[in-house]
Amino acid sequence: MAELTPRQRIESIRYACSCCGDDRRGLFALHKPLPDSIFDIPENERAQRARISSDLCDLDNAQFFVRAVLALPILETGETFEFGVWGSLKQENFQTYVDQFDNPAPAFGPFFSWLNSTLWPYPDTFNLPSDLYFRGDNLRPLMRLHTSDHPLALDQHNGVTLDRIAEIYRAWGHDVIL
């Protein structure tokens, strides 16, 4: 039997969409529903101290986070594998983003950010330095990690193989073979 092409390997993944339940094929993003810093607040206080939407989070009117996309280039295909992550912003940059959120505004930034998401199987990803690039058109911003020797930064800057993506899926509890 002939070996599958990278595209065929990707298309061999089947999953149910978490939003609509439809059967889908191909890569799916892995995402963190909340910024990690929210877990510093006792659960019984979160409703009073946190304002959260699917894209924005304000903790105690002192810490501000936006949902972003951290993309890893796939070496075999030129496509990207995506994590849905949270990045911190200082208050004035957060407000700029909020003010532009529903506008078909052109891209702006980048703004400095700290990654506020733990991403398995990588070692300690919390507070990796990054920049957020705001794309306009109601798209979530792209997060670009600063150059470093951290394995996640190296994977983002150098790319990953499909085998590495399969390892990442397994670390998140998905039994995916690519």
Q: How would residue 28 be classed by pLDDT, with cut points 50, 70 and 90?
A: confident
pLDDT tens-digit readout, 103-161: 766 677 899 999 999 999 999 999 999 999 988 777 899 999 999 999 999 999 999 99
Report cis status (omega within 30 of 0) of the bond before 151: no
Spatial CB neighbours of 90, under 8 Å, sequence gap ≥ 6: 64, 111, 112
Sole residue written with tokens 């990278």: 6
